[in-house]
Each structure stands twice: as C-alpha cells, then as structure tokens.
Amino acid sequence: MLELRDVTVRHGPATAVHHLSLSIATGELAALVGPNGAGKSSLARAIAGTHRPVEGTIRFAGTDITRLDAAAIAARGLTHLPEGRPLALTLSVRDNLLSGAHVLGSLRRALRRLKDVLPSFPVLMDRLDQSAATLSGGERQWLVVARALMAQPLLLLIDEPTLGLGPRAARETLAVIAGLRIDGTTILLIEQNAALALDVADRVLVMGNGRIVAEGTPRSLLDDPGLARTYLGVASRPPHASREDRR
Amino acid sequence: MMADVLQTLLNGLAAGAAYALLGVGFTLMFGVMRRLNLSYGATLMFGGYLGALLMAKAGDALPGGLLTVFGAVVTVAGATLAGLYVERLCFAPLRDRSGVAAMVSSFAVWMQIEALASLLLPQHTNPYPAPLDLAPLHLGALTLRAEHLLTFAVAALLAIFLHRLLSASRFGLALRTLSDSAAAAQAVGIDARRTTLLAFLLASALGGVGAWLVLVADQQVTPMFGMWSTAKGLIAMMLGGLGSIPGAVIGGLLLGLVEATGQALFGPQVRELIAYGLLFVVLVVRPGGIFGRATIDLDAAARERL
Amino acid sequence: MSDFAIGLASNIGMLAFVALSAYLLLISGSISFGQQAYFGLGAYGAGIATALWDWPLMVALGFGALVGGLGGGLVGLLTRKLHGLYFAIATLAFAEMTRIALDLWHYQRMVGGERVGPDGPNGFNGIRRAFEDGWDPAAFMILIWTLLAVTLLALLLFERSRAGVTLRATGEDPVLTRLLGTDVARLRVRTAAVAGAIAGLGGGLYAHLNTYIEPRLFDIMLGVHALAYGLIGGLGTALGPLIGVLIDIGILESTSLFQGWRMIAFGGLVAVLLIWRPRGLLDEPTVRRLRALFARPARHA
C-alpha cells in the first residue's frame, strides 16, 4: 500500500530523515515509534506531501506521490492526521466533520458519509451543533479521527494522537484507532508512547536519528531487552511470557 | 423633523448596504490570505472605468434599461478580471512568504491600475450613465429613490446568495475552513491555492456589484474612487471585526448610518473625519470590532508575522 | 550643478526622511501606513513657526521635528497594544484624520500686510523664511543633505547599538516581544516618537523649500510610498530606504515615457521585485554578506 525507498528529508541544513526505506502492507496497523527528534513527524510530512523529500521515492497504492502536493495526495485516499489536532475551532462539529469529506467531491456525498460515520462516535453525535472549540482534548482527538474517516481513506497516517491526553483518554483513543482496522483501513500510527502503540500494532518500526533502527512484531521487539529499554522505554519481559500475561 | 431623521437614516442604510458589500469582499480576501489587498478599491475602479468607457461607446446603440445592465456586467467583469491579475501577481507568489511585501506589491498594482484608468479616460469626471426609468417611491414624507430600492434589493439578494454559498456548498465550507485554520484545511485535503483564487474572484465580483451600486447613485466615476472604496471597505471590515462576514455587513451599515448622520449635522467633510475617527477609536478601544472580543488575543496577533 | 539636478537632489533628500521614518518602524516589526501625517505635521508646524510666529529657521525646523515626534509618540502610545494589521490600519486612520483635519483648519494672521497661514484646502502659502534669509536652492540642498546625513549616521549607529539590535530582534520574533513584556512596549513607543520626529524634520524642510503646502500632499500615496522605499531598497540597513528613493525618483526622471506608462511600468517592476526579494535589495542576509566581505580584508591586513 505504501512504499518508501531511500527517502531523505531536510530542514534547511539539518537532515531529519536519512535514506529511509519502509513498506506498509494493505490492512495492517503499523506503528512508528522512537524518541523525540527521531524524525517521525518529518517523515509523516514527507509522506503527506506538506514537506517534500530531497531524495527518494514514495509510492502509494501504486502511484508515485513523491512530488505531489498535499491536496492531490489526500484526494488519492491518503489521509493525514497531523500532530496538534488542527481543527476549525470557530466552526461547528458538524462542519468540521463535513470538511473531512472534501475529497469526496460534493456536499451531498459528504452528508451521506456523515450518516455512516457518526454511529461510531456517539460523543460527537450529541455535540454536532456546538463549536469545535467547546470540546475537550480527548473529544477533539475523536473529532479528528472521525473527520479523517469521512474521507473514506485507504491509508490513515496518524501523527501523535495521544499527545497532551491523560492516560485514560490516550488508551481510549488508541482503542478507537485499533477498531478502525475492521473496515480494512491501513494505518500508519506515529506514537511517542511506545507501550500503548505496541498494544495495538501488528508491526512496529523503530526510528532513531532519522533512520529505521529496528523492525518487527511487538513481541519480537520486546524480546530484545536492550532495544526495549533504549528505544521503547518499556521493561523487557522474559522470553517465555505471552502477550496476554502482560494485561 | 422626524421625517428628516428617517430620511437621513434611510440614505445612510442605502450607502451602508454598498459599504457592506465592499467590506464583505475585503473580509473574504483577508480570511483566506490573512493579508490586506490594498488594490481592492483600484480593481473596482477599473471595473467602473471600463463600464463608463464601454457605455459611452455603446450609448446610442442600446436602450436605457439594457445599457444599465450592460454597464453592470462590464463593471463586475472588469473588477473580477483586475482581481485575478492582482491575485496572481501580488499574492499567489508570496503565499508562504512576506505579507508586507505582498501588501506593498498590491499597492504598486493599485498605482498601476490608477495610471491605466487615467489613460483610458483622461478626464477627472466621467459620466456613468445608469438610466433607471423608475420614479421615486414616496412613503409618506420619505422618498425612496430608485437607486435606494435597487441597492436594497440587490444587496439583499446577494446576502442570501452568499449565505447559501458559504453554508450549503462544498466551496463555501472549504472557504470557511481555510479562513479558520490553514492547518485544518490542509489536513482535509483542501487545495489552499485554488480556494484562495476562487475566494478572490468572488470577493472582486461582490465588490464590483457594490461599486456598481455606488456609481449608479453617483452617475459618475472619478480617479478618487479607488482610494474611496478601499477606505470604505476597510472601515466596514474593521468595525465589524476583522475576518467576520456578518461583522462586515453590520460594520458597513453602521458606517453608512454614522456618515449620513455626520453629514446631516456637520457637512460632508466632517463626515469623512468621523468615519476615520470611528475606526481609530474602535481599534484603540475594542480592536476586535463589534463582533470580536474586547481584547484581541495577543499571542495570535503577535504570531501574525507579516 | 544644474537647477534641475538641485531640485532632484532636494526631492530625494526630503523623501528619504519619510522613508527612514517608515523604515524605523518596519524593522521593529510594525507596518505604518501613516508616517505621512507626521511629515505633514512637521511641515505645518515649521511653516507656522517661521511665517506666523517669526521664529528663526533652525528653531522652526526643530519645532517641526518636535511636532512630528509628539504626533508619532501619541499614536504609538495609543496603539501600543496593537499588532500587525490592527496597528497598520490604526496608523492609516490617524493619518487620514490628520489630513482631513488640516483640510478643515484655518489659522491665519496678518503678517506684513497680508494674510498668511493654513487656509484649509487652499493650503498654506508664503513660507518664505528660507529665501528671505538668503538660502539659495543649492545651499538649501546642502542643508537637506547635511541633516539627512546626520540622521542616517545616527540611525546606523543606533542599529549597531544594543537597543537597535533588540529592536530588530523583536521585529523578527514577535513571540520574543511578548516574553520581554513592557520594556519592549516602551521601546516601541519611543521608536514611534523618533520616527515621527524624523518625518517631521523632513516635512519642515519640504515646507520651506516649496514655500507652499496643502493637506492633499500628505495622503496615503505618500505613506505607502514611504513603506515601499524601504521594501525596495532593503530592510537590512538604513541605507536601504535611501536606495529605494533613488531608484524610484531615478526611474521616474530618467525615462522619457509619458507619466502614465511610467507608473504602470514602475508598479509592475515593484511587484516583480518583491516576489524575488520580499525584504528588498539590501535585505538582512545581503547586508550580512556585505559586512563579512568588507570585514575580511581588515583581518588579513
């Protein structure tokens, strides 16, 4: 579904991403973890088209999207939920949701889509006519996710959804995200909170200093104590313990 | 006595309706770009000059009512075309860069357009014929001139049209989203460049209609029209609160009323002084305007690095 | 030097004052569309001082600068909480108010048997002190340029001073401004006053060279031109606005095109230039590079 080859991203003189390659299979939930400054958000921006890479190619659903702008990429089914949860705060919840379906091409289609998406978000259903500014942090994150779903995306690129949220809201948010896989949506989740990401992901990519330093299933990564402690910030567990034991 | 007051208010509202259109145009542009288009008035003047020029040429060939419509179409089209020129030259290339440069660039184009207009019609006063074969309507002691009726009708129609466009169309939603948060617009795949261009064209067309209404009432167009309409639109926008469309409408109407009252009491020159004075006072005391907050968010304003 | 050249040089000199006035505010991060008001206040102030109150020329020029400075400071004080566009529009409003007020103001006295003084839209005639004192056009031009040179020198020194660097820093980083709080607010009000004084000085000189001024001269055209000079010439140094004036007047006078086409061409040139160099020819990076270039030979010596 998404394939990066040799991608390099620069911010002025500094290089944020070095010759990075990765691939995401259709329908999987891949998590990209790593410490602050590892280049995760720069990579996300390169994929989404808001900051062009200086080298390398990005292919999405069979098309080369490296040189396309953000709107064109969104129109092809790659929906980016950027860090910071940008919302049109003076607009109503309903309008924010409808704007998410911009790529569907008509307001009528957007209204129809809204009917399909809303049932999964009862909290938003109660607040449709309120302005987005009145929502709490966790509610805003749900709005951002619901808005992204309005576009009927093939791939969701979610950047730091739990930022600024308390532990309960963070867990709920990731549960919602995990639930999206039922529709077959491919998800690339960028998350600083590695523990939470490991809970939901099929596959984990660990990023450090602009490069992928490790890759594999959550279990295989946790089996490596050095890796677990350094990059994932989680205590490694003895090899024989199963995932269920941790709950 | 009462009739005089009501007549003054009526005149004020009619002028204010035109100002409201100018203010809304300014606001639309500001909303999507966060910059002032200093050449806005000049583009409207260009439309007016083009209209005057072509009407003078076509004058005898067309009957009265048709000439008026012809003039309207040419004026609005001219304003829109000039707006397109400004957007492409001054604002699109400087989109993510210096706002001051864009505004000064738009001023340079203002000078260009004024010079071009003077070349087209070298005289200071140029007739803008608008034969409206309608007798004035008398309601008791009040007189509703044909221009008044026209202004109210057209402004009301446009208000309804604009409201529907903004609230019930994909483009309207895209425009409102972009005006609120460029980041949110980008996240949902709105093409900011295209939306800005369309907003610009819409604003120019609306302003063109507003300008037409004023020119029809004045029956003439002069080189001062550029500065004049820029000022009116700007004041209307700021009175109502920067970036608010309903605010621009109220601001425009309020400006019209204040001016009409000022003129009735003190004469035409003081009228202009009051208009600017009102603007200055509002900015110093309540910069957010009537619809805004009492103190504008310092952080947001500070970060508006121009 | 021919009469034409003297007149040209004088015009350039006087316009440079308004340009520097707008420039000073620009580097502090404020866009002012209204510096023409202080130019006008200075012109009227100095003119009244000599023509109606019989003050000496130099004192009158100082008075003009004072009036300009007071105007600038007052507006700076009232608008100190405004930023960006709000500030810009407020300055525009004030400038237009000033112009219209001058249009309505009549203050005339009988001096030597005739009525002199501001006469509303009819302007203010008879500001003849400079010529009565014996200043011929060439000498006055030298006066203009001497005062301009002093002003430029003061500004160049200021830019290298601690206050100057602070001012420029707050212009480039508004968030820093917020963090530094009231100290910066005071600096900005003072800057506005100084900018007003500079414009006022230029206005006084203008009034005495032309002997006649009217409110129409001090309109928004002048104000935005003042801004444009800095933006064209470059915001990296106080010499930038001067270069901007030279380019404008230079093009205006050197081409033999008809007035209208000149404006169309010039307007287009400015728009294109600003796409290429939004902060002008001598913008901050260029100035830094030039300074580095000139600094190197000294180190090797």
Answer yes or no: do B105 and C271 touch at CB < 8 A: yes
Bridge-based pairing of strands A155-159 and A78-81 is parallel
Please list every residue in chain C whose beta carbon sits closer than 8 Å to the beta carbon of residue B226. Answer: none
- Please give the pLDDT value at position B59: 74
Please list every residue in chain A whose beta carbon sits closer than 8 Å to the beta carbon of residue B181. Answer: 86-89
Question: What is the tens place of the pLDDT at every residue in B24-81?
Answer: 999 999 888 888 898 999 999 999 999 998 888 887 777 777 888 888 999 999 999 9
pLDDT band at C181 (very low <50, low <70, confident <90, very high): low
CATH code of C44's domain: 1.10.3470
Residue C227 contacts B where some CB pair is shorter than 8 Å = yes
Of B168, B169, B177, the CB nearest to A91: B177
| Mean pLDDT, range C120-148, rounded to an integer | 89
List domains and CATH numbers for chain B.
Answer: 2-127+143-152+190-303 (1.10.3470)
Which residue type occupies B26? F
- Please give the pLDDT value at position B7: 87
pLDDT band at B123 (very low <50, low <70, confident <90, very high): confident
Please list every residue in chain B whose beta carbon sits closer than 8 Å to the beta carbon of residue C177. Answer: 302
Q: CA-nearest residue of chain B to C260? A: B115
Could you give the 3-state DSSP secondary structure of residue A185?
A: coil
Instruction: Report the alpha-carbon distance of residue C102 to residue C118 in Å, rounded.
Output: 8
Answer yes or no: do B188 and A100 touch at CB < 8 A: yes
Q: Which of residues 172-201 of B touch A (CB under 8 A)?
A: 173-174, 176-177, 180-181, 183-192, 194
Question: What is the tens place of the pLDDT at every residue in B228-244?
Answer: 999 899 999 999 888 88
Q: Write down the mean pLDDT value for chain B.
A: 87
Answer yes or no: do C228 and B107 touch at CB < 8 A: yes
Which is higher by pLDDT, A226 or A70? A70
Q: Which residues form the domain of C204?
A: 3-300
Residue B304 contacts A where some CB pair is shorter than 8 Å = no
Q: List all residues 6 or more positions away from B118 whose beta carbon is below 8 Å from its beta carbon.
A: B223, C260
Question: What is the tens place of the pLDDT at every residue in A192-240?
Answer: 888 888 888 999 998 888 888 888 888 888 787 777 666 666 544 444 4
- Please give the pLDDT value at position B100: 79
Question: What is the tens place of the pLDDT at every residue in B71-96?
Answer: 899 999 999 999 999 999 999 998 87
Cβ contact A–C (≥3 pairs, < 8 Å)? no
The answer, yes or no, to whether residue A173 has pLDDT greater than 50, is yes
Which is higher by pLDDT, B292 or B142? B142
φ/ψ (deg, to 5) at A103: -70, -10
Highest mean pLDDT among B167-171, C86-90, C122-126: B167-171
Q: List all residues 6 or more positions away from A134 whose beta carbon is below 8 Å from its beta carbon.
A: A127
Which is higher by pLDDT, A226 or C15? C15
Cβ-Cβ pairs closer than 8 A, B with C, add up to 149
Substitution target from B33, B43, B284, B299 for chain C, most C beta carbons within 10 A? B284
Answer yes or no: do B186 and A70 touch at CB < 8 A: yes
- Please give the pLDDT value at position B50: 92
Distance in Å, alpha carbon of C90 to nearest chain B alpha carbon = 6
Residue C103 contacts B where some CB pair is shorter than 8 Å = yes
Q: CA-nearest residue of chain B to A151? A: B188
The answer, yes or no, to whether residue A147 has pLDDT greater than 60, is yes
The answer, yes or no, to whether residue A137 has pLDDT greater than 80, is yes
The answer, yes or no, to whether residue C177 has pLDDT greater than 50, is yes
Distance in Å, alpha carbon of A177 to nearest chain B alpha carbon = 18
pLDDT band at C299 (very low <50, low <70, confident <90, very high): low
Of B234, B235, B305, the CB nearest to C174: B305
Give pTM, 2 decimals: 0.84
The answer, yes or no, to whether residue A86 has pLDDT greater than 90, is yes
The answer, yes or no, to whether residue A124 has pLDDT greater than 80, is yes
- Please give the pLDDT value at position A240: 45
Question: What is the tens place of the pLDDT at every residue in C27-60?
Answer: 888 889 999 999 999 999 999 999 989 899 999 9
Owner of token pair 């500030």: C87
Cβ-Cβ pairs closer than 8 A, A with B, add up to 75
Instruction: Report the alpha-carbon distance of residue C40 to residue C79 in Å, rounded.
Output: 20
Please list every residue in chain C whose beta carbon sits closer than 8 Å to the beta carbon of residue B284. Answer: 78-79, 82, 90
Answer yes or no: do B108 and C275 touch at CB < 8 A: no
**Lowest-pLDDT range of A73-82, A233-242, B55-64, B105-114:** A233-242
pLDDT band at A245 (very low <50, low <70, confident <90, very high): very low
Which is higher by pLDDT, B103 or C37? C37
Answer yes or no: do A95 and B176 touch at CB < 8 A: yes
Instruction: Give me the residues paired with residue A20 across strands.
Output: A7
| Mean pLDDT, range A118-132, rounded to an integer | 91
pLDDT band at C254 (very low <50, low <70, confident <90, very high): low
A67-93 residues labelled b (16+ CB within 10 A) or e (exposed): ebbbbebbbbbbbbbbbebbbbebbbb
- Please give the pLDDT value at position A239: 44
Number of domains composing chain C: 1
Listed residue (C144, C99, C102) closest to C124, CA to CA: C102
Residue C263 contacts B where some CB pair is shorter than 8 Å = yes
Of B94, B118, B295, the CB nearest to C278: B94
ipTM of the complex: 0.87
Answer yes or no: do B283 and C89 touch at CB < 8 A: yes
- Please give the pLDDT value at position C80: 86
Q: CA-nearest residue of chain B to A76? A: B189
Substitution target from C36, C96, C257 for chain B, most B beta carbons within 10 A? C96
Substitution target from B188, B196, B244, B291 for chain A, most A beta carbons within 10 A? B188
Listed residue (A38, A47, A44) closest to A18, CA to CA: A38
pLDDT band at A247 (very low <50, low <70, confident <90, very high): very low
Instruction: Report the alpha-carbon distance of residue B108 to residue A112 in Å, rounded.
Output: 48
Subunits next to A (3 or more Cβ pairs <8 Å) are B
Residue B268 contacts A where some CB pair is shorter than 8 Å = no
Q: Which of residues 45-64 of A touch B (CB under 8 A)?
A: 50
Tokens (6 digits) for C17:
């004052």
Let me know if C254 is exposed, middle or buried by CB neighbors in 10 A (0-12, 13-18, 19+): exposed
Residue C268 contacts B where some CB pair is shorter than 8 Å = yes
Of A84, A107, A144, the CB nearest to B169: A107
- Please give the pLDDT value at position C201: 96
Q: List all residues 6 or more positions away from A220 whose beta carbon is below 8 Å from its beta carbon.
A: none
Tokens (6 digits) for C35:
């510096």
Answer yes or no: do B299 and C178 touch at CB < 8 A: yes
A139-162 residues labelled b (16+ CB within 10 A) or e (exposed): bbbbbbbbbbbbbbbbbbbbbbbb
Q: CA-nearest residue of chain B to C274? A: B101
Distance in Å, alpha carbon of B275 to nearest chain A alpha carbon = 30
- Please give the pLDDT value at position B260: 92
Q: List all residues 6 or more positions away from B289 whose beta carbon is below 8 Å from its beta carbon.
A: B238, B239, B240, B241, B242, B244, B247, B251, B282
**Lowest-pLDDT range of A209-223, B199-213, C70-84:** A209-223
| Mean pLDDT, range B186-207, rounded to an integer | 94
Residue A129 contacts B where some CB pair is shorter than 8 Å = no
Which residue type occupies A112? R
Q: CA-nearest residue of chain B to A148? A: B188
Rg (Cα) of chain A, in Å, rounded? Answer: 18
Q: CA-nearest residue of chain C to B109? A: C267
- Let me know how many helices (H) and strands (E) chain C has, helices first: 13, 2
Of B180, B181, B189, the CB nearest to A74: B189
Answer yes or no: do A86 and B176 touch at CB < 8 A: no
- Please give the pLDDT value at position C43: 96
* Number of C-beta neighbours around residue C123 at 10 A: 15
Answer yes or no: do B280 and C90 touch at CB < 8 A: yes
